[in-house]
Structure 1
Amino acid sequence: MPELARLFREHPYFAPVVQNGKPYRRLDFTARNSELLARDLSETSDFTDYVFNELLSGNSCNGVGGYGEDRVIYRQRKHFTADAEKPRSIHLGIDIWTDAGTPLHAPLDGTVHSFAFNNHYGDYGPTIILAHELAGTRFFTLYGHLSLSSLEGLEAGKVIKSGERFAEIGPYPENGHWPPHLHFQVISDIGNHHGDFPGVCHTEDRDYYLGLCPDPGLILRIAY
C-alpha cells in the first residue's frame, strides 16, 4: 500500500470526480461533533436537512471528509450494528455530499470490474467498482450511493476513460437510504468481492482495512 500511495502522489493529474464548481467544506461525523450526540438522524429526511441546510449552509457548498473516521452516525443504522460483538464505525473512504443527480467522472482510465444494487437500508445502494493500473500496479475504485440509472448499460470490462461521465449520485431511498452523497474508496486488493466491498469496519480491524484502502484524498486532491 505505501507503493500505491507513492504512485498517487507522483501521478501528475487525476480528473475531478465531481465537477459542479462548488467550494468544499469538511464535515465531521465523529463524537467530536457534539451536535450529533443530541440528534436522532435515523430518519433520512431529517439527516438530509441537517447536512444540506445546516452543515452545508443551504446547499451552498459540497461536503467532504471521512477517511479513517470513527463515526457515531452508524449507531443509528442496523446495517452497521447487526453484529453486536463487532459493530462497525471506522469509515474507509471519503464522502462527497452534494445533490442527487450530480454527474460523476472517472479520475483516471479504467474498466468496469463489477457493479451491484446493494439494496439494504444503510448499504451502498447502486455501486460501481472500476479497475485501474498505474505503473504496472493494479487497484480499484469504488463508487457507492449512486442512482439506479447509473447501472444501466454496464458490463464487466467496459472501458471508462479519464474524465468520462459514467455515473451520478443517487437520491434516497434508492441510494441505500442516505442523504445524497458519493462514497469514494480506493482498494488495493479486492479479493473475491464483486459489486461490493466493506466501506466501514470495526475498530479492531482498522489497521487491516486501512492497509487495504489507501487515502482516497491522494486521488481526489480536494482543497478545503
Structure 2
Amino acid sequence: MPDYTAIAARLSGQPDLYALLYQAAAEGVTELAPLLAACDAEVAARLRSVDQGLLRAILRVGAGHEAVQGASEIVAHLATATPAPVFMPEINASRSIPLPTSGQRPDMPAFSDRAFDAWFTAQGVPYGIGLYGENRSVYATDQFADKASVERRTVHLGIDVFAPAGTPVHAPFAGKVRHLTYNADPLDYGHTLILEHEGPVPFFTLYGHLGGSLPSLLQVGDTVTPGQLIAHLGDWHENGGWAAHLHFQIMASLLEQTKGNFFGVGHAGLWNVWSQICPDPNLILRLDPLRFAL
C-alpha cells in the first residue's frame, strides 16, 4: 500500500508535479483520488486544474504500462492499414521541403509571421512539411503553460503540411465526425475537425487550421469515407493566425478533452507519455523519411 501521506508531502511546494507523479507511480500509486485526498489544498488544486486523463497516463507509464490502454494496438493497426491520401496530388508524388524551426533555415520567417507567405511562395514547391516531435520556441508562452509544472508544452504532436489556403483536405480512413468547432484563441487551431475511426481499438485524427468551409461540408455525427473531401486549408483570419497549413495529428485517446480541441504540443519532459497518446502522424501520411531532412 503506498504511503500517500509521505508522497503527498513531497509534492508540496514543488514546481514540477508531473515528474513527482511519475516517481509516485513507481511507489505503487495507481489512482489519483487517494493521492489528491492526501495532498494539501494548493497541490490538489494544481493537479485538478489539468487534464485528469493526462495525469492517469503519467501514472500508467510510471508504473510500466502504456500511456492509454490499446495505444500499441493502434500503432500496429496503422502500420498495416492502407490510408487514402490526405492531399491530392499526393505529397510523395510532388515536390516538398522540410520546414524545421530551430534555425536550420535562417531566412525563414516564423509560421505566425505574415512574411512567411511570400517566403514560401518563393521556394517554388507545392508542399512544406513541419516536423513531428520538434521542440518549438514559438510555444514557450503562458498560453502553453499549466499550473502543474513550470515546463511549457513546446514539443509538436502533429505533422504540419503547408500549402496554399483553400487546398482540399481528404479523409484517410472511414470515420465519424466527433468534433467540429472553431478554436478562436490566438495561435490556436481556428476551424478544427476531429474524426473518430474504428479499428481493433478506436482512435482519432485531428485536422487543425482549416478554412471556413468546414461547417458547410460536415456536421457532428456525420460519417466520412476514405478519400472524401472533408475540409480546406484556412487563411490567416480563420485558422488561428498562421500561414496556411494543416496540423495533422493522431490521438489514441482524447483524454478528458470534450470541447473540440486537443493538445497540439506536449511537454518535453513527458515525451515518453505524449508520444504514446499521440503517435507519429506519418503512420498515416506515409511520407518518405527524406522529406523531413534538409
Q: Same fold (TM over 0.5)?
A: yes
Higher strand share: 1
In structure 1, runs of 5+ residues without a counterpart are: none
| Secondary structure in structure 1 of the residue aligned to 2:213 | helix
| Secondary structure in structure 1 of the residue aligned to 2:88 | coil
Distance 1:125 1:47 in 2: 18
User: Does residue 47 of the first structure (1) align with residue 138 of the second (2)?
Assistant: no
Distance 2:146 2:105 in 1: 25
* CA-to-aligned-CA distance 1:14-43 (integer Å, 9 cap, x gap): 1110113532222211x352627xx77486
Q: Report the equivalent of 1:215.
A: 280
Distance 1:7 1:41 in 2: 35
The one of 254, 278, 283 aligned to 1:190: 254
| Secondary structure in structure 2 of the residue aligned to 1:215 | coil
Q: Report the equivalent of 1:159.
A: 223
| Secondary structure in structure 1 of the residue aligned to 2:193 | strand
The one of 168, 188, 200 aligned to 1:103: 168
TM-superposed deviation, 1:106: 0.2
TM-superposed deviation, 1:128: 0.3
| Secondary structure in structure 2 of the residue aligned to 1:174 | coil
Q: Report the equivalent of 1:23.
A: 95
Q: Is the 8 A contact 1:127 1:143 kept in 2?
A: yes
Distance 1:41 1:95 in 2: 13
* CA-to-aligned-CA distance 1:50-93 (integer Å, 9 cap, x gap): 3x145xx13x2301131111113334x66336879332210001
Distance 1:115 1:164 in 2: 16
* CA-to-aligned-CA distance 1:106-138 (integer Å, 9 cap, x gap): 00100000111001110000000000012x310
Greater relative contact order structure (CA < 8 Å, 6+ sep)? 1
Q: Is the 8 A contact 1:25 1:64 kept in 2?
A: yes
Q: Is the 8 A contact 2:218 2:230 kept in 1?
A: no
Q: Is the 8 A contact 1:113 1:157 kept in 2?
A: yes
Q: Is the 8 A contact 1:128 1:151 kept in 2?
A: no
Q: Report the equivalent of 2:106.
A: 35
In the alignment of these two chains, the number of paired residues is 214
Instruction: Give RMSD over aligned pairs.
Output: 2.3
TM-score when scaled to structure 1? 0.86
TM-superposed deviation, 1:153: 5.3
Distance 1:78 1:67 in 2: 22
| Secondary structure in structure 1 of the residue aligned to 2:153 | coil
**Greater CA drift, 20-29 or 168-177:** 20-29
Q: Is the 8 A contact 2:111 2:243 kept in 1?
A: no
TM-superposed deviation, 1:3: 1.9
Higher helix share: 2
Q: What does residue range 1-224 of structure 1 map to in structure 2 within 5 Å?
A: 1-11=71-81, 13-21=82-90, 22-29=94-101, 31=102, 33=104, 35=106, 41=110, 44-50=113-119, 52-53=120-121, 57-58=123-124, 60-75=125-140, 79-80=143-144, 85-134=150-199, 136-152=200-216, 154-193=218-257, 194-223=259-288, 224=291
**Percent identity over the alignment?**
36
| Secondary structure in structure 2 of the residue aligned to 1:128 | strand
| Secondary structure in structure 2 of the residue aligned to 1:8 | helix
> Taking structure 1 as reference, are residues 129 and 23 closer, same or farther at Cα in structure 2, changes over 3 Å only?
same
Q: Is the 8 A contact 1:16 1:220 kept in 2?
A: yes
| Secondary structure in structure 2 of the residue aligned to 1:148 | coil
Distance 2:283 2:204 in 1: 14
Q: Report the equivalent of 2:8.
A: none
Q: Is the 8 A contact 1:64 1:95 kept in 2?
A: yes
Distance 1:42 1:217 in 2: 21
Distance 2:131 2:76 in 1: 21
Distance 2:213 2:99 in 1: 28
